A and B are shown apart, each in its own frame.
Chain A
Amino acid sequence: MTVNSLHYHYDVPGDDFTRAGVASGAVKQILKQLGLNPETVRKMSIALYEAEINMVIHGGGGVIDIDIDDDKIVALVSDQGPGIEDLDLAMQEGWSTASEQERNLGFGAGMGLPNMKKYSDELEINSEVGVGTSVKITVNIEKSGEQRD
């Protein structure tokens, strides 16, 4: 192996609340094993969890692709669901289209997207109504000075 990078792929089924969060949980475990700064791990875990849940609840499921290299973690969370009509509105705290049932399950506070923004170092969202939504979360890996090669 010459290229120092890692790639992970997860298929996330839609509408299965019991499995929502499995992929982000697995990623958290990997990041911890990599010994990354606990704050870095925390940022990615929270942001990715929110994106995964959104994909399950609003997007009908999809795929997650994680790329880790020396200086950043990039998570691409994409679905082929209904898309977001007004992204600026969706980014506002407290704005949600969650159904009564979803609210009863504890979702729908309208905090997912704002939290993704807060915890990621870079957030890129592409969404088109009727086509789907893709969310790209980047969290930088803080260098603790130590470097090989």
Chain B
Amino acid sequence: MSEYFHSVTLNTELCHGCITCVKRCPTEAIRVRNGKAQIIEGRCIDCGECIRVCPHHAKYAITDPLSSIKEFKFKVVLPPPSLFGQYKRQEDLELIRAGLLKLGFDAVYEVAAAAELVSSATRQLLNGDRLKKPVISSACPAVLRLIRIRFPNLIDNILPLSPPMEVAAMLARRRAVRETGLSPEDIGIAFLTPCPAKVTSIRNPIGIKKSEVDLAISVSEIYPALLSAMNECAEEGLGPDTAQSGRTGMSWGNSGGEAAATLTTGYLAADGIENVINVLEEMEDDRLSDQVFVELNACPAGCVGGVLNIENPYVAVTRMKHLQAYRPVSCNSISEAGIPPDMKWDAKVEPIDTLRLDPSPTESIRMMGELEEIESRLYGLDCGSCGAPSCRALAEDIVRGYSTEDACIYLLKDKVESVRDSLLSLTINKRDKGEVHKHES
């Protein structure tokens, strides 16, 4: 657990110690201690909410710089579907490809193309009777980690397929090896990431043993350079249409696209982390058993709402829809013979026990009793001044030994006042007995 890599990181110098992120973190993973925010690593799901809301831009995502592609002999870039909503020009699809090549990549492999393969494999799996319903999409790594931490009962409902990014990376590397004759290590696969969660999932894959992606470059970093490259390409003129995917793949960039592509009647799609949590609560209590497929995206509007994207997600979705209108329904599918084994999960997904108070239920119950007692002494204002998101969270921190009741400024004020009062009454008593001598200046 201690070796777990998180993309979401704090720039301590920029942090003012305000409690904006503390209040907004969906897993209560942040505390302000000694005037600076701290992330409780075991609880963070890298959803990027704290990056989104920090007024001082003190939270950022660790990604790889564009220059790091130089380490590889042959460089393949994987643009995600949401990238196509980031730029204004309508002929984007072709321009973006040309622009990426101009930036120094040797080949482009659309993640949307792999998404169509995953959709096709999902349909095959849903037609069979093997999967526990409703099936939960495996595409959003923040959601998967949330499930491992907060909804372990639902791990078995997750679609046991690699997400499009991984399938794209695997196929892109294979193609590059075939076409260049280079060895697999000489091929660099760079994913243009819209969010920190994908970066984290490359270092700590879920459901697969090892990620096929070598680099994760932030869309926000590449955005201006790509824009200039695209402008140059537009002047030079474009070649023929080489797009690799259709509407199905491209619609994975917005909430509902993957679910609709299952072609089942009972599906739902929820986006935004609070909505996702509500759906998971319902699912956990068996209240969505009439659904076949559930698509969940931590970001509002889907991947297009990723915190590393530039464009307003709703504007981007409109653009993507417009681009899709000119595309065929789908350009990729797997054979009827069955799902290629390398698209399937090959590692077990385990629950993560970071919420429980203690491994022993007996001890947990004792600690919970103490927690309730402490909470009843706190003021219940959830003001956050102590650095915890709520009074209950402070009570939990105290029980776990990470904080003390003195962290509560209201309790402290009571203490100070009672000390003052007793000093005062002491003074009055002494004065009554004539023991106090006035010192006049």
Contact = CB atoms under 8 A, between A and B. Distances in A.
Interface in A47-77: 49, 68-70
Contacts of B356: 32-35
Contacts of B214: none
B368 A32 contact: no
A42 B154 CA distance: 11
Contact of B360 (A41, A115, A148): A148
A41 B150 CA distance: 12
Contacts of A6: 365, 368-369, 372
B358 A46 contact: no
B355 A33 contact: yes
Nearest to A68: B365
A39 B358 CA distance: 18
Contacts of A143: 361
A36 B361 contact: yes
Contact of A1 (B281, B361, B363, B369): B369
B67 interface: no
B265 interface: no
A70 B361 CA distance: 7
A4 B362 contact: yes
B135 to A, nearest CB: 18
Interface centre among A35, A46, A69 (most CB of B within 10 A): A35
Interface centre among B152, B284, B285, B368 (most CB of A within 10 A): B285
Contacts of B368: 6, 30, 33-34
Nearest to A34: B364
B359 A35 contact: yes
Nearest to B154: A38
B370 interface: yes
Interface in B186-231: none
A42 B153 contact: yes
Nearest to B281: A25
Given A32-B150, A42-B153, A69 B365 contact: yes
Given A1-B369, A45-B285, A38 B361 contact: no
A42 B365 contact: no
A34 B396 CA distance: 12
B357 interface: yes
B360 A32 contact: no
Nearest to A147: B362
Given A6-B372, A32-B150, A38-B351, A146 B365 contact: no
B274 to A, nearest CB: 14
Given A34-B357, A35-B357, A35-B358, A4 B365 contact: yes
B365 A148 contact: no
Contacts of A32: 150, 355-356
B366 interface: yes
B434 to A, nearest CB: 48
A105 to B, nearest CB: 13
A28 B284 CA distance: 10
Given A42-B284, A147-B360, A70 B153 contact: no
Contacts of B351: 38
A147 B287 CA distance: 34
B372 A1 contact: no
Contacts of A149: 362
A68 B369 CA distance: 10
A119 to B, nearest CB: 9
Interface in A61-114: 68-70
B284 A5 contact: no
Contacts of A34: 356-357, 361, 364-365, 368
A76 B248 CA distance: 50
Contacts of B153: 38-39, 41-42
Nearest to A47: B285
Nearest to A36: B361
18 contacts: A4-B365, A6-B365, A6-B368, A28-B284, A30-B368, A33-B356, A34-B361, A35-B353, A35-B359, A35-B361, A36-B361, A36-B364, A39-B153, A42-B153, A115-B286, A144-B361, A147-B360, A149-B362
Complex A-B, nearest 5 residue pairs according to Cβ-Cβ distance, in ascending order: A35-B356, A34-B364, A38-B153, A146-B360, A38-B152
Given A33-B364, A34-B368, 8 more contacts: A6-B365, A6-B368, A6-B372, A28-B284, A33-B396, A34-B361, A36-B364, A146-B361
